């Protein structure tokens, strides 16, 4: 089957409806474009597990708290489509905000979707309204595509909890794919392209800090304050880096942890700024296998 690209969400919805009627299973990968190998790994996984793979490419203005960040976000639908066709996608579609929400005449009239309790802190606190915008577009995308399975990257860990909340009991099955990393350990992200080579090398400290906390936990450390200090001290070893947060949280809810971290483990989550570029990453902390 040849790869299709569409610039109207309604046309994409009709194609997906026809495929479902023909008995196809649809794997869906929502993106904002500026694709890299992390996105393509989601597509490859979807292609292995479904008979049709659909990708949305849409820079969603509802989830940007900074208009400058929205304006600076790279857009290259043709280039993204070339990459998607090579990775096994069957359809990529885009559109403008009113194409996704044709029931309104002004984007300010769009009714926001509740992103759930996991959205309240961390990214939710540092980027007010961000997860409202994520939940709103994800719900609309799920309604348009009606996929059987939706694929998201673990790098945006908090977002995956929001997506699971939006999917609920009647939405698609949500598959979270492990973070794809550069050789240095830096998580793949479109924002990495805004780092010059020197800063990109320095940014590897983020993964090293997460690994340091994970190693301390695996060796038996359970004191939350000491584990968070391991994390923050490792980050602070890079003087060019500014820490927004570096915390351990419950992996299922992102609720704060007690003073003693449970033996079952937790999630370490980090947001930093380096050279004016904001980077996020996370890692699960687990005990050594017995």
pLDDT at 66: 83
Q: What is the mean pLDDT of residues 281-290?
A: 84
Rounded Cα distance between 28 and 73, Å, is 22
* Integer CA distances (angstroms), 241 to 189, 246, 274, in order: 17, 12, 5
C-alpha angle 87/88/92, rounded to 5°?
A: 95
Tell me the per-residue pLDDT of 234-275, one tens digit each, with 9 for 90 and over.
999 999 999 999 999 999 999 999 999 999 999 999 999 999
Which one of 39, 130, 165, 207 is the catalytic residue? 39
129's torsion region: left (phi>0), alpha (psi -120 to 50) or beta?
Answer: left
| C-alpha Rg value of the chain to the nearest Å | 19
Task: Quote the percentage of the chain above a pLDDT of 70.
Answer: 99
Average pLDDT, the chain: 96
Q: Judging by beta carbons within 10 Å of its beta carbon (0-12, 13-18, 19+), is residue 247 exposed, middle or buried?
A: buried
- pLDDT at residue 167 is higher than 60: yes
The pair of structure tokens assigned to 214 is 């994970």
Task: Quote the percentage of the chain above a pLDDT of 90.
Answer: 94
Rounded Cα distance between 248 and 261, Å, is 9
For residue 270, which phi and psi values (nearest 5 degrees)? Answer: -135, 140
pLDDT at 72: 84
Q: What is the mean pLDDT of residues 81-89?
A: 98
- pLDDT at residue 212 is higher than 50: yes
Contact present, 138 and 19 (Cβ < 8 Å): no
The partner residues of 270 in beta bridges, in order of sequence, read 246, 281
- 130 has catalytic annotation: no
Contact present, 254 and 158 (Cβ < 8 Å): yes
pLDDT at 287: 85
Sorting pLDDT into bands at 50, 70 and 90, what band is 65?
confident
pLDDT at 69: 84
pLDDT at 229: 98
Sorting pLDDT into bands at 50, 70 and 90, what band is 13?
very high
Residue 32, SS3?
Answer: coil
pLDDT at 41: 98
pLDDT at 137: 98
Domain architecture of the chain: domains with CATH: 4-177 (3.40.50.620), 190-285 (3.30.1300.10)
Q: What is the mean pLDDT of residues 40-57?
A: 98
Contact present, 235 and 219 (Cβ < 8 Å): no
- pLDDT at residue 290 is higher than 60: no
Sorting pLDDT into bands at 50, 70 and 90, what band is 289?
low
Q: Cα 48 to chain center, whole Å?
A: 21
pLDDT at 241: 97
Contact present, 245 and 260 (Cβ < 8 Å): no
């Amino acid at each position: 089957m040849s790869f299709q690209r569409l610039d109207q969400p309604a046309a994409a919805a009709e194609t997906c409806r026809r495929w479902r009627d023909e008995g196809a299973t649809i794997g869906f990968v929502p993106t904002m474009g500026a694709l890299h190998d992390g996105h393509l790994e989601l597509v490859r996984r979807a292609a292995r597990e479904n008979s049709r793979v659909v990708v949305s490419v849409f820079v969603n203005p509802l989830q940007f708290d900074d208009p400058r960040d929205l304006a600076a976000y790279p857009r290259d639908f043709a280039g993204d489509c070339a990459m998607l066709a090579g990775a096994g996608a069957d359809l990529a579609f885009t559109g403008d905000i009113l194409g996704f929400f044709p029931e309104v005449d002004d984007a300010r009239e769009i009714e926001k979707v509740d992103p759930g309790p996991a959205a309240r802190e961390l990214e939710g606190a540092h980027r007010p309204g961000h997860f409202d915008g994520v939940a709103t577009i994800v719900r609309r995308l799920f309604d348009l595509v009606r996929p059987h399975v939706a694929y998201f990257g673990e790098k945006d860990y908090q977002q995956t909890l929001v997506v699971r909340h939006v999917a609920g009991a009647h939405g698609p099955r949500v598959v979270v794919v492990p973070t794809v990393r550069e050789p240095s350990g830096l998580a793949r992200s479109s924002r990495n392209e805004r780092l010059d080579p020197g800063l990109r090398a320095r940014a590897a400290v983020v993964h090293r800090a997460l690994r340091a906390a994970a190693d301390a936990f695996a060796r038996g450390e359970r004191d939350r304050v000491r584990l968070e200090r391991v994390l923050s001290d490792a980050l602070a070893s890079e003087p060019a880096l500014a820490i927004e947060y570096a915390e351990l949280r419950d992996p299922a809810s992102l609720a704060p942890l007690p003073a003693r971290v449970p033996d079952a483990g937790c999630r370490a989550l980090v947001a930093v700024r380096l050279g004016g570029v904001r980077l996020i990453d996370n890692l699960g902390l687990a005990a050594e296998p017995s």
